[in-house]
Amino acid sequence: MEFKFDIKDLAEAVIVRIDHTLKPVGYDEEDENIQRRVAMIIDEMGKASARAQNLKMPITTAEKLSKSDNIIYLLTEQINEETFAVVGILKMGWKKLYLFDKKGIRSEAMVYCLLDFYIHETRQRQGYGNQLFEYMLKDNELEAKQLAIDRPSKKMLQFMQKHYSLKKLVDQGNNFVIFEEFFDIPGLTQ
């Protein structure tokens, strides 16, 4: 998705992390212009993600982000001096979940949850999603099996199987999905 403005001041790297301030993490200056542009990008990408998943309402909006402690990872591409493309978004957040293992035993854990994930249609199946996902894992020093996924699409489940060999789901009785391997990690639940 192309946006007609220079983002040298916004995106110094290919992947930018945005938090509730609607500015890149660590960007300390007050700059309403940046916040307006970031809000526009997030709203547009949120809508595109909802369309791609056949959802009635976007899961991701700038307003929701501003009232949360979620992080959005933006994958960008500078096309020329004035134009840049946002290739994809990945929204993550910590949640306290009651989890059931495959024997149905309940525990409680703070789990890093994948809340929204979208790569633009023109770029899907070319490794961009994996690039963004890997960056997020490294950034948090986590492994894929430690995540929960909120209402995963079929493509999402295929993505997890292809890149991380994760396919056995443990039913949680809610919208979140975790994989059997989650319970291999000692000390995650209590």
Applying CB under 6 A, the residues found at the interface with ligand ACO are 52-53, 114, 116-119, 124-130, 149-153, 155-156, 158-159, 162
Between 20 and 123, CB nearer to ligand ACO:
123
> Alpha carbon 3 to chain centroid distance?
20
Between 56 and 106, CB nearer to ligand ACO:
56
Between 27 and 73, CB nearer to ligand ACO:
73
Contacts of 63 (CB under 8 A, 6+ apart): none
Least distance from C-beta 58 to ligand ACO, angstroms? 11
Least distance from C-beta 9 to ligand ACO, angstroms? 27
Long-range contacts of 93-97 (CB under 8 A, 24+ apart): 93/68, 93/69, 94/69, 95/148, 95/176, 97/148, 97/172, 97/176
Answer whether 75's CB lies under 8 Å from 131's CB: yes
Between 34 and 46, CB nearer to ligand ACO:
46
Least distance from C-beta 119 to ligand ACO, angstroms? 4
**Which residue, judged by CB position, is nearest to ligand ACO in the bound state?**
129
Residue with the two structure tokens 């199946």: 125
Between 33 and 127, CB nearer to ligand ACO:
127
- C-alpha 5/C-alpha 76 separation (Å) is 13
Least distance from C-beta 84 to ligand ACO, angstroms? 18
Least distance from C-beta 144 to ligand ACO, angstroms? 12
Three-state DSSP class for 151? coil
- C-alpha 97/C-alpha 69 separation (Å) is 16
